[in-house]
Structure 1
Amino acid sequence: MTAIRRIWVTRAEPGATRTADRLTALGFEPVIAPLLATRSIPQAAPDLTGVAALAFTSANGVAAFASLTSDRTRPVFTVGDATAGAARTAGFARVQSASGDLDSLAALLSAQGPAVGPLLVPGALEPAGDLPALLRDRVEARALPLYEAVETGAAAPAAFDAVLVHSARAARALAALGPFAGQLAFALSAAAADPLGDRSGLEIRLALTPDENALLAALGNPLRRV
């Protein structure tokens, strides 16, 4: 694969800046043009009566929940290590990461048995996957929508060597801007890449595991400046 340097970061802020900083440290030139933005759903502090544990599928969910309540007493289960780090930074002391995708988180929770519930899942109004449905008949769980992802209407950068796709929602927005003749897209997972379809014109590469470390590793080494 030809070495690449300019990387289009499509994810919402503040994650886009975090990803850009990591790309810069690796020697790439990030181009931040988010296709999505998060918008809070106004509501009062959540009623945690009877809730035994919390499950987070994104750092955005952690931030949204932490802004509504100071309660940090319940154990937390997260989809991946970055989300686990966000939970610890927010003040949660008991945090377990599934270090994978939504199926990995469901498996981790199922292994705890019914006693881990009732489980509250704070997150997006339209999440990428339905964790309570995956846990049905194994762990009692309910979703708590705290924010929604909306398209920004941003245009594609004038020049980029590759584009990062962190979610299926971003992939749908990206596909609507195509086709991109023969350009590269690096996706966090097959589920994130699926909405791109064949008509996007993108040559799609997948991270070996559904986390950003693997996504950035898939980029290879940047083209050296001369």
Structure 2
Amino acid sequence: MTRAEPGATRTAARLEALGFEPVVAPLLAIRPLAQAEPDLGGVAALAFASRNGVEAFAALSADRSLPVFTVGDATAGAAAAAGFGPVRSAAGDLGELARLLAAATPGPVLAPGAREPSGDLAAMLAGRLEVRALPVYEAVETGAPVPAAFDAVLVHSPRAGGALAALLTVGGSGGQTAVAISEAAAVPLGAVRGLDIRIAARPDEAALCEALGKPAPRV
């Protein structure tokens, strides 16, 4: 498990329940960006593309009055747990979130998220809906090495894919498997020779686990 904490531990617990033997070795760390409380004047709704965005924004603002739209169900659950409501999930990728916002929100929309987001929600809605990006966290590489012995690795983002590819290119892959949450997350891994790359059928963790298949029998 190379994703940032606390997500890596949550995913490891899920895999263990399925019969796998997870090893937690985060390649990324999430750091909140220090800033003043956001001005929500004139904002009609909030849009979150990740749990990290929810958690970082919730620490900056006590306002829970705006409707919230999220890219998926896990992020929606995090928003509800943080006291936001009502919360609507696109149950898909960023494109699905853009379509949901365009259909349900008069705008403008505030989108708290990463300093370097993997997708551009504002560009997707250009000319239809005003989206104001608000960087509230950043993902930084930990510099931790990839464990020498592993059969498969889950890749939750393009940034994680890039960090993993750099380490495997140096150390060699040894015929392991990488399961990416999306085609974008898989792109950096194409530079790694001998790595079996699979892409989840849907951009969520349940699909990632399905793409792993069944764990090998223990001997």
Task: State the TM bucket, normalised to the shorter chain.
Answer: over 0.9
User: Structure 1: which 4+ aligned runs deviate by more than 2 Å?
Assistant: 198-201
Inter-partner Cα distance in structure 1 for 2:96 and 2:39: 27
Q: Return the offset for 1:172.
A: 0.5
CA RMSD after TM alignment: 1.1
1:177 to 159, 167, 177: 167
Q: How many Å apart are 1:112 and its aligned residue?
A: 2.1
Query: Which residue among 14, 24, 27 is the counterpart of 1:32?
Result: 24
Of the three residues 72, 76, 82, the one matched with 2:74 is: 82
User: What is the match of residue 168 of structure 1?
Assistant: 158
After superposition, residues 14-163 of structure 1 pair within 5 angstroms as: 14-112=6-104, 115=106, 117-163=107-153
**2:197 is paired with a residue of what secondary structure?**
strand
Instruction: Give the CA deviation at 1:218.
Output: 1.1
What CA distance in whole angstroms lies between the structure 1 residues aligned with 2:187 and 2:159? 10
What's the CA shift for 1:200? 4.5
**Aligned residue runs from structure 1 range 209-224, under 5 A:** 209-224=202-217
How far 1:150 sits from its partner (Å)? 0.5
Q: Distance in 2 between matches of 1:213 and 1:166?
A: 12
Secondary structure of the structure 2 residue equivalent to 1:149: strand
- Residues of 1 paired with 2:151 and 2:139: CA distance? 26
Contact 2:165 2:191 in 1 (8 A): no
Deviation larger for 130-139 or 176-185:
176-185
Structure 1 unaligned spans of 5+: 1-8
- Deviations 1:180-204, CA, capped at 9 Å, x for gaps: 1321000001111111123353110
Alignment of 1:194 with 2:187, yes or no, is: yes
**What CA deviation, in whole Å up to 9, does each residue of 1:95-139 have, x standing for no partner?**
1111111111111112225x1x11000000000011111111111
1:68 deviates by 1.0
* Paired AA for residue 120 in structure 1: L
Mapped to 2, the partners of 1:87 and 1:31 lie a distance apart of 28
Q: List per-residue Cα deviations over 1:75-107 (Å, max 9, x = no partner).
A: 101011110111111111211111111111111
Identity %: 68
Describe the SS at the equivalent of 1:39: strand
Q: Which has the higher contact order (CA 8 A, sep 6+)?
A: 1
